[in-house]
Amino acid sequence: MIRHTAFAALLLAVATASAAQPAAPTGDAARGKDKTRMCQGCHGIDGWRVAYPEVYSVPRLGGQHAAYLEKALHEYKDGERSFPSMRAIAATLSDQDIADLAAYYAHGSTKTAGK
């Protein structure tokens, strides 16, 4: 219980700190790679589909622009985009996590033809 409270306080402190500091964190692709474990279950499957909560096409992330990915994740986090599972995931990400993940996926090996 005490641990939970401490963790919540920490999250709040982090949220407050990032809100007070408008400069966006710089993404680090190597750190981002470590954080993709919670994404690959949905964004890494052949055919780009998930089966939960319903069969649904999943957008491919690799090779998209970092700025676009970052914006999308912030929109899920802030509730501007409303897909439930992405909202739940984005809510757990800090601004730094989002920047790192965006940097990783933007520099991923999956490029469209011709690049």
- Smallest separation (angstroms) from ligand HEC to the CB of 111: 15
DSSP result, 61-94: -TTS-HHHHHHHHHHHHHTSS--HHHHHHHHT--
Cα distance between residue 103 and residue 65, in whole Å = 9
Closest CA to 102 of 67, 74, 76, 58: 67
* Residue numbers 63-102 binding ligand HEC by CB under 6 A: 69, 72-73, 81, 83, 85-86, 89, 101
- Smallest separation (angstroms) from ligand HEC to the CB of 85: 4
Mark the segment that binds ligand HEC (CB under 6 A) among 8-16, 18-26, 41-49, 106-114.
41-49
The owner of tokens 């949905």 is 42
β-strand partners of 57: 49
How many residues in the shown chain lie near ligand HEC by CB under 6 A?
19
Nearer to ligand HEC, 7 or 83 (CB): 83
The owner of tokens 């599972």 is 85
Among 25, 31, 58, 62, binds ligand HEC (CB under 6 A): 58
Cβ contact 64:101 at 8 Å? no
Binding site for ligand HEC (CB under 6 A): 38-39, 41-43, 50, 56, 58-59, 61, 69, 72-73, 81, 83, 85-86, 89, 101
